Amino acid sequence: MLPRRSRLSVLVFLVPPLAVYGIAVLFPILQSLFLSFFQWDGTTAPKAIGVANYARMLGGDSVFWHAFGNNLLYVAISIVIQIGSALIVANLLLTLTRGHAVVKTLYLLPAVISTVAIAFLFQRIYSVQPEGLLNQLLQAVGLGHLQQPWLSNISTVLTAVSIPEGWRFTGLYMLILHAAFLAVPAELEEAARLDGASRWQVFRLIRFPYIRPVWITTLIMAMTYDLRGFDIPYLLTNGGPGQSSELLTTYMYKTAFTSTDYGYASAISVFIVVECLVAVGLIFLVLRRRDQS
Amino acid sequence: MKRFLTVAVAAAAALTLAACSGSPKATSSATTGVDPSGEIKPHAISWLLSRPADGAVVTIMQQLAGEYAQSHSGFSLNLITTPDRPSYIQKYETLAAANKLPELFDTDATPFAQKLASQGKMVDAQALLKSLGVYNQFRPGALNYQRFDDGSLYMIPFEYQPEFFWYNKDLFTKAGVQVPTSLDDLPQICAKLKAAGVTPIALDGQDQWPLERYIAYKPFRLAGPDYVTGLKKGDKQLSDSTGKAAAQWVSDLGSNGCFSSDFSSTGYADAQALFTSGKAAIYNIGTWELSSLATTKLSATVRDNVDFFTLPTVANAVTDPNEYVTSSGIGMAVNSKTYDPLVRDFLKFALGKFFTIAAQQGSLVPVTGVTTTVPDNATPLYKKALDAADHVGTKLVMPWDTQLDPTSNTRLQQELVLLAQGKTTTDQFIDTMDTAIKQNAPKYFG
């Protein structure tokens, strides 16, 4: 039982942010949920249609399922790039004796560049005419036959739009993981090395288990952020060609602001919220089972 | 469980609150006369528009607003421009949904705009122009472009922009091809141009509307402007002979390499650069690019080789060769909710002067009786384009992106890319589009 003064302090510090959270996050979600039971074009009176939007979304909308499939692949590629390379770079940084700050700044740089600039940059990198950096590099190393319009080819476009998203936040997650690595007690690693552990064993059996809670947090952050990924695919391809790089978010945006079908767009947005919650739940479930085993 | 119930109750309470606070509400539909009574009380007005910030409309309107403010202290015109059309449409439709549109706003004659008009949210432009005594000055084609299907007019045009096929004579000669006389010639011409090592047609695929023009051309020649009017309502299908011919033609353009391999991610500036740098042979664009294509701004190596041809025809065409896309641009609508004597008076002042100034600056204008000044740095092509604009026929190719319901239009834009890339067959394309239109058209035209 907290003393009266402490309880007051807790209220003073917790209630304002909770109120802001409620107004800025929970209320719009609930409002979307409410709106998802209507057919509304923004100009005429909304018409209550029950769960028809959900039935359409889950049962008869091929674009929705196509976008959902794209979303899963987009998240997978982005996470592998973000968390995978962040883990490697953060680990390698420990071996550097000088220039930590420069390397960290360079890796973090993409996270502070505006999205529009990143989209423009990658549009140039992938370009065919004028020949972009990627196609020039392929030509230079004798792989000219692999040159192609990366953003116009339906087989490569989804990967092409996922890479900038992954590249952009690698530095951020690298910083978090590097800070966690620095907290690993040096004596533990030293003892392991004295016992003859290789570098890989030190990483696998000492460092990684020690930073596991931080790694889980970054994984959740990356996954929820990537599930909501919108800006780079929208700016680079607008979901095309066809629906090859359409994500749930870009589809929702078009449904709301191009088709002015706010009810259906709200149903998609509710699905995205549920999808994020399920993804986080699955991560916890898998990890808990692994811990128990 | 207890925690879950608590959350559920909280959610239910919030839902109830949301229901009570009510969100979507039907908007009132006040209709305002075009000549409101009362005193002219100067105040600030806004125009939400989608035009280049340094373009003729914005710069001239700023100048005219300044002049008007000198005699009407307290008046100002706030021009809020979003040149990127998709972003603009999002802004405009969101403001319309919130019933917060400003005094003046831009819109095409889309199904969405027609809904606003039918709800009395826009001033009747035909009545307004007539009451201001300027209606008869407008080119009929410029006004027709702004009309809804029922003939009503709610937008005022500020531009007049025929669209031509600009081509590079030198590249045509090197490839041994002639200007097409029929639309059916174009795929073969593309094949020869491609074999000669040039990009046949420079296409801004990123903005989607340029490719959508190509699906409109064959139906316009074969069945006239009414085809899309029937198609968008579901009264006609792409599976009919006209629709099949249109889909096959776009497919043929793609399979003959008319467009660059990366056309779907090529932007407006890059497409134009392809043509102006002599790397592409054909560029289909309107006269708003006259200053880039028919003046000394164009590179000297390409300048003398540029010419244009108009939309080729087809055998048994129902439209004349001088009938093609002639847009009067996005129109300006007047918000009936905020319409007052000041807005009317300013529009009277502005419309009385705008077109003369624009024509003096070299722009084609949607009114007759005003001669466009040919700039000093113009090539002979500039004058040729102005002359062609004066001889445009009465039937117009209506861009399909302004005609179809927005959901079907989005799908069409996506499927067209796949069709031109050869990633879908004409039958699949037709089937997908007919299904999409059948599902979505009733929401707008039912």
Contact B294, B379 (CB under 8 A): yes
Summarised one tens digit per residue, pLDDT across range B201-227 is: 999 999 999 999 999 999 999 999 999
Mark out chain A residues that contact chain B at CB-CB < 8 A: 26-27, 30-31, 33-35, 38, 40-46, 63, 123, 126-130, 148-149, 151-152, 154, 236-243, 254-255, 257-262
Closest Cα in chain B, distance from residue A275 (Å): 18
> Which pLDDT does position A147 carry in this prediction?
94
> Which pLDDT does position A240 carry in this prediction?
87
In chain A, domain spans? 61-113+157-292
> Which pLDDT does position A289 carry in this prediction?
78
Which residues 208-247 of B are in CB contact (within 8 Å) with A?
Answer: 208
Which parts of chain A register pLDDT below 70? 1-5, 293
Q: Is B46 exposed, middle or buried (0-12, 13-18, 19+ CB in 10 A)?
A: middle
Query: 3-state DSSP call for residue A171?
Result: helix
Which residues 153-182 of B are in CB contact (within 8 Å) with A?
Answer: none
Buried residues in A132-145 as b, exposed as e (16+ CB within 10 A): bebbeebeeeeeee
B268 contacts on A by Cβ (under 8 Å): none
* Residue B420 tokens, joined: 């031109």
Chain B residue closest in CA terms to A63: B411
Q: Are A34 and B15 inside 8 Å of each other by CB?
A: yes
Chain A residue closest in CA terms to B90: A257
> Which pLDDT does position B29 carry in this prediction?
35
**Quick one: angle between helices A157-182 and A62-79, nearest 10?**
40
Partner-chain residue, chosen from A38, A63, A126, that has the shortest CB–CB distance to B24: A38
| Whether this model's pTM surpasses 0.90 | no
Alpha carbon distance B40, A235 (integer Å): 45
The answer to whether B417 contacts chain A (CB < 8 Å) is yes
Summarised one tens digit per residue, pLDDT across range B310-354 is: 999 999 999 999 999 999 999 999 999 999 999 999 999 999 999
Partner-chain residue, chosen from A34, A129, A238, that has the shortest CB–CB distance to B262: A129
> Which pLDDT does position B30 carry in this prediction?
40
Which DSSP category does A184 fall into?
S
Q: Are B262 and A152 inside 8 Å of each other by CB?
A: yes
Chain pair A-B, CB pairs under 8 angstroms: 127
Positive or negative: CA dihedral B123, B127, B130, B132: negative
Q: What is the CATH number of domain A61-113+157-292?
A: 1.10.3720.10
B265 contacts on A by Cβ (under 8 Å): 123, 126-127, 149, 151-152, 236-237
- Nearest alpha carbon to residue B118 among B91, B156, B152: B152
CA of residue B334 relative to chain centroid, distance: 18
Residue A244's alpha-carbon distances to A100, B349, B404, in angstroms, are 40, 50, 23
Which residues 27-46 of B are in CB contact (within 8 Å) with A?
Answer: 27
Contact A247, A238 (CB under 8 A): no
A59 contacts on B by Cβ (under 8 Å): none
The vertex-B111 CA angle with B110 and B116, nearest 5°, equals 95
Positive or negative: CA dihedral A16, A18, A19, A21: positive
Mutate to test the interface with B, among A57, A238, A247, A262 (most CBs of B within 10 A): A238
Which residues 426-445 of B are in CB contact (within 8 Å) with A?
Answer: 440, 443
Q: Are B26 and A40 inside 8 Å of each other by CB?
A: no
Residues 6 or more apart in contact with residue B259 via CB below 8 angstroms:
B199, B200, B201, B203, B205, B211, B253, B420
Chain B residue closest in CA terms to A129: B262
Cis amide linkage into residue B225, ω under 30° from 0: no
Summarised one tens digit per residue, pLDDT across range B149-168 is: 999 999 999 999 999 999 99
* Residue B238 tokens, joined: 């792409």
- ipTM here: 0.86
The answer to whether B5 contacts chain A (CB < 8 Å) is no
> Which pLDDT does position A172 carry in this prediction?
92
Partner-chain residue, chosen from A46, A237, A257, that has the shortest CB–CB distance to B24: A46
> Which pLDDT does position B284 carry in this prediction?
97
| Residue ranges of domains in chain B, CATH in brackets | 44-160+328-372 (3.40.190.10), 161-326+397-445 (3.40.190.10)
Residues 6 or more apart in contact with residue B24 via CB below 8 angstroms:
A35, A38, A40, A42, A45, A46, A262
> What are φ and ψ of residue B313, in 5° steps?
-100, -170
The answer to whether B23 contacts chain A (CB < 8 Å) is yes
How do strand B326-327 and strand B161-168 relate by DSSP bridges? antiparallel
Which parts of chain B register pLDDT below 50? 1-32
